[in-house]
Amino acid sequence: MDAQRITFLVGAVVGVPVVLVLYIVVTDWLIRRLPPAQHGRVRPWLWVGPALLLVTGFLIYPGLATAWISLFTNDGKSFVGLANFGKVLGDHSVLIAIRNNVLWLVFYTGLVLVFGLILAVMADRVPYEGPVKSLIFMPMAISFVAAGLIWSFMYQYQPNLPGVHQTGTLNAVWVNLLHQQPIAWVIDERVNNFALIFAAVWVWTGFAMVITSAALKGIPPELTEAARVDGATELQVFARITVPLLTPTLTVIGTTLVIFALKAFDIIYVMTNGLYNTDVMARRMYGEMFTSQNYANSAAIAMLLLLAVIPVLIFNLRRFQFQEAIR
């Protein structure tokens, strides 16, 4: 790293907090010169000011601007109403992308929740819980780019010819142990969307497991013990007591997963770049933006994504207000 870069980096890491602290200290000194009645009125705005400015500049204003762009022709000159949405939704390949997002929504969310729940419950009953949870959780630390590459390697395909070995782990098991014909998991349209989804499931299962596990440990043991004393089997305890008590937690994890499923981008970008009918909305939006240079279509797709997220957004707001009310 050259000297200029280091100066730049240190300048940002040290400089920004120092400037912020100075800003707070100096404005506070000024506030104290004001009549006391004014202190409480001015100070909060100075403290939230920088954050509100950045949030407005990077989220609120651009969001509104995108909505605006989506209502005009690509050159931005003539208003076309919802015509861009009609055009986008009339495009067969966009419909495929929407279908794939639905697959992501259902299977990604469902599988992560199920695997997370099963692993949390199983790990809770063994003495080596810690190491198991760490290992399952580890993929959360790596990028989706790396995860995509890892799974492309897992899914590698070699033709089934004498002298040719399967180098992909999955096909090696499939061909050598189960004696099936090798499958091009990423290309074969019967399985490829599920292959991509599973790569993301692999990354996120640890997330669901860790949170479910924490909630599981919050269940009073008396409840499950009482059921066992009354003669309930382990399966009944799990289905009738554990799962219902975990439902609020699973719902909350689910909302995070649903948003992720709608925005899925990196895995698809790395593994197929949307080819072989694996495209999704977020990848398509990026493609319209850079490959086709069609900002109007791209904005329309982004708005459709936002629309899809709105039920989750409302759910989150309601839940937040409920939480605040009981605080």
Which residues ranging from 128 to 187 are in contact with another protein (CB under 8 A)?
Answer: 132, 134-146, 148-154, 156, 165-169, 172
Q: How many other CB atoms are found less than 10 A from the CB of residue 313? A: 12
Contacts of 99 (CB under 8 A, 6+ apart): none
Shortest separation between residue 210's beta carbon and another protein, angstroms: 6
Shortest separation between residue 81's beta carbon and another protein, angstroms: 19
The residue whose two tokens read 């240079």 is 293
Shortest separation between residue 250's beta carbon and another protein, angstroms: 9
The residue whose two tokens read 């199983």 is 122
Nearer to another protein by C-beta: 151 or 185?
151
Shortest separation between residue 190's beta carbon and another protein, angstroms: 22
The residue whose two tokens read 């997330």 is 207
Applying CB under 8 A, the span of 58-66, 80-88, 103-111, 188-196 interacting with another protein comes to 58-66
Shortest separation between residue 300's beta carbon and another protein, angstroms: 11
Q: What is the total count of residues that contact another protein (CB under 8 A)? A: 125
Nearer to another protein by C-beta: 90 or 220?
220
List the interface residues with another protein, window 72-111 (CB under 8 A): none
Q: What are phi and psi of 31, to 5 degrees?
A: -60, -40
* SS3 of the chain: CCHHHHHHHHHHHHHHHHHHHHHHHHHHHHHCCCCHHHHHHHHHHHHHHHHHHHHHHHHHHHHHHHHHHCCECCCCCCECCCHHHHHHHCCHHHHHHHHHHHHHHHHHHHHHHHHHHHHHHHHCCCCCHHHHHHHHHHHHHCCHHHHHHHHHHHCCCCCCCCCCCCCCHHHHHHHHHCCCCCCCCCCCCCCHHHHHHHHHHHHHHHHHHHHHHHHHCCCCHHHHHHHHHCCCCHHHHHHHHHHHHHHHHHHHHHHHHHHHHHHCCHHHHHHCCCCCCCCCHHHHHHHHHHCCCCHHHHHHHHHHHHHHHHHHHHHHHHHHHHHHHHC
List the interface residues with another protein, window 179-238 (CB under 8 A): 202, 204-205, 207, 210-211, 214-215, 217-218, 220-222, 224-225
Applying CB under 8 A, the span of 80-88, 90-98, 188-196, 248-256 interacting with another protein comes to 248-256
Q: Which of 50, 86, 160, 189 binds another protein (CB under 8 A)?
A: 50
72 CA to centre of own chain: 30
Q: What CA–CA distance (Å, rounded) separates 149 from 216?
A: 34
Nearer to another protein by C-beta: 107 or 265?
265
Applying CB under 8 A, the span of 83-91, 96-104, 122-130, 182-190 interacting with another protein comes to 122-130
Q: Which of 34, 59, 82, 239 binds another protein (CB under 8 A)?
A: 59
Applying CB under 8 A, the span of 52-60, 78-86, 87-95, 178-186 interacting with another protein comes to 52-60
8 binds another protein (CB under 8 A): yes
Nearer to another protein by C-beta: 192 or 298?
298
Q: Which of 47, 107, 174, 194 binds another protein (CB under 8 A)?
A: 47
Nearer to another protein by C-beta: 39 or 240?
39
Shortest separation between residue 182's beta carbon and another protein, angstroms: 12
| 249, amino acid identity | T
Nearer to another protein by C-beta: 102 or 259?
259
Shortest separation between residue 183's beta carbon and another protein, angstroms: 16
